Amino acid sequence: MRSSVMKCAGFVVLLLLATSWVEASDWPQWRGPFFNGSTDETDLPSQWSTTENIAWTAELPGCAAATPIISGDWVFLSGIDAERNVLQAMCFGRTDGMLRWRHDVAEGTRKDYRSTLAAPSPVTDGKLAVFFYSNGDLVCFDLDGKRLWGRNIQEDYGTFAFLWTFSSTPLLFDGKLYVQVLQRDVAVEGRGWTDRENESYLLALDPETGKTLWRRTRPSEARGESREAFSTPIPLQHEGTKQLLLVGGDALTGHDPNSGSELWRWGTWNPQRVTHWRLVASPVAGDGVILACGPKREPVYAIKAGGTGVLGDDAVAWASRDVREVSSDVPTPAFYDGDFFVLSDVRRSLSRVEPRTGKVKWAIATPGRSKYEASPLAADGKIYLINFEGEVAVVGAADGQLLSVIPMDEPRAGEQVRSSIAAAAGQLFIRTTRKLYCVGNG
């Protein structure tokens, strides 16, 4: 009897821990309320157009990759004013789409032709909203748009040593704000320190003041571009403990959220230390395993959760070496309904995969000719994808049936849709190159 009561109490504690992370009706972080690209929202639409089943549309002054972030009646968006060449922080009303406030953050919107400096998404805890940009600016506002604090981490810790434009979305978790910078150890094309080693690090800040709580360096044996990561820290709760997952620099690591100390490390996937293994996709966890996506056309690796120290090949639950479809260079997979949904931009496919075995339940080719780099949204029995041209594909999660393909944009030359679709309050939030759509009645 006592054993049954203890098991029940333990389950309740774990449930409370899990539900304390999130408010499921919001989309407060880039990968949603559960940090895995899914939400328990229902009654989401599967059919619409740019004029039908649209609650509202907001015009945007420039193209950027940041995903809309939703909390209550606030929709936060990072962006640019292309004509004025400035980075901006914006807030819209969720119910009416009216612009609540907009602030210029910094001049200059690009370092190369591939991306703007407004690629990282904002984060919110429902009391404040934090915006981060690829130039290092980190700015916090309250819900009414009052600036609470701002700092530039490049000025504090050195210029980002990346070949292309750096991008990583911050994480708000358990009262701390986390930012990762996994970069080259030597300068590249004038970026980074030239008189000392550039350190890769995980930074923790007080979200209310912006002050540094700690900065933990993260060592790497990777070489050249393989030290660069464009991924985002992701929380993991496993067997009652909380961790932060980081991937990049030829390694997947777990860290103590309170100190940043490294708890474990796996990195047997690049034994030859190939120098072009830069990583873009973030880790995602589900059913006791953690997915790490090899770059370009490399396999996906499933690592067993719960390890300590340096892990070897025995920590690999499976790898998709023999399954071409299960691969991803840029999109981060989603975990939903007990399975992983892996969107492959390089193989042009979407697959539903069992977490513990790697068995593919179904795989389909992504529709259209354009590339899909935005990470998938999984909700209400559907998977939502969007490609560079702004075509939204809606796929049935159970069987992979293509339910609809909806054109949402006609991009200008040099502009592409890269923002992931978000869901909150029974609606979809879709950012195209120059518009923000709220889809559905809610």
If one counts every other C-beta atom within 10 angstroms of the C-beta of residue 431, the result is 29
Please give the share of the chain, as a percent, with pLDDT higher than 90: 91
The tens digit of pLDDT for each residue in 154-175 reads 999 999 999 999 999 999 999 9
71 close to 28: Cβ distance less than 8 angstroms? yes
Looking at the predicted structure, is the pLDDT value of residue 257 above 70?
yes
pLDDT of residue 335: 98
| Cα–Cα dist 78/124, whole Å | 13
The whole-angstrom distance between residue 442's C-alpha and the CA centroid of its chain comes to 24
Query: What local confidence, expressed as pLDDT, does residue 19 receive?
Result: 39
Query: Once rounded to an integer, what is the mean pLDDT over residues 294-314?
Result: 97
pTM equals 0.94
Element holding 145 (H helix, E strand): none
Statement: residue 17 has pLDDT above 50: no
Question: pLDDT tens across 418-427, in order?
Answer: 999 999 999 9
Residue-level pLDDT at 113: 77
Q: Please write the tens of the pLDDT for every residue from 173-195.
A: 999 999 999 999 999 999 999 99
Contact present, 55 and 439 (Cβ < 8 Å)? yes
Beta-strand (E) ranges in 153-211?
171-173, 176-181, 201-205
- Spatial distance between the Cα atoms of 63 and 59, rounded to a whole number of angstroms: 11
Name the phi and psi angles at 134, rounded to 5: -70, -5
The two three-digit tokens of residue 193, written as one number: 């320190």
Q: Are strands 435-439 and 241-248 parallel, antiparallel or unpaired?
A: unpaired
Residues 6 or more apart whose CB falls under 8 angstroms from that of 328 comprise 281, 293, 300, 342, 343, 344, 345, 346
Looking at residue 126, its pLDDT comes to 96
Query: Is the separation of the CB atoms in 26 and 33 below 8 Å?
Result: yes
- Separation of alpha carbons 339 and 357, rounded Å: 11
Give mean pLDDT, residues 1-22.
39
Specify the pLDDT at position 360. 98
Query: Three-class SS of residue 108?
Result: coil
In the three-class reduction of DSSP (H, G, I as helix; E, B as strand; rest coil), residue 4 is classed as helix
Confidence band of 76 (pLDDT split at 50, 70, 90): very high
- pLDDT over threshold 80, residue 10: no
pLDDT in the model for residue 6 = 37
Q: Residue 15 pLDDT more than 60?
A: no
Integer CA distances (angstroms), 68 to 52, 53, 85, 283, 428, in order = 21, 19, 21, 20, 10
Q: CA separation (Å) from 426 to 24, 146, 441?
A: 11, 29, 7
State how far the Cα of 208 lies from the Cα of 93, in Å rounded to an integer.
Answer: 23
CB 364 within 8 A of CB 395: yes
pLDDT exceeds cutoff 80 at 239: yes
Residues 349-381: pLDDT tens digits?
Answer: 999 999 999 999 999 999 999 999 999 999 999
Per-residue pLDDT tens digits for 25-43: 899 999 999 999 999 999 9
- Alpha carbons 344 and 325: distance in angstroms, whole number: 7
Predicted confidence at residue 3, as pLDDT, reads: 41
pLDDT of res. 112: 81
Query: What is the pLDDT, as a whole number, of residue 433?
Result: 97
107 pairs with which residues across the strands?
86
pLDDT confidence of 442, banded at 50, 70, 90? Answer: low
Distances (CA, A) of 37 to 97, 98, 213, 333: 24, 26, 28, 7
CB atoms under 10 Å from CB of 240, counted, come to: 9
pLDDT at 24: 55
Class of domain 2-439: mainly beta
Q: Compute the average pLDDT of residues 63-71.
A: 98
- The chain-wide mean pLDDT, for the chain, equals 94
- State residue 206 phi and psi, 5-degree precision: -80, 115
Contact 61, 264 (CB under 8 A): no
Label residue 441 by pLDDT band (50, 70, 90).
confident
Give residue limits of the domains in the chain: 2-439
Residue 16 has pLDDT above 50, yes or no: no
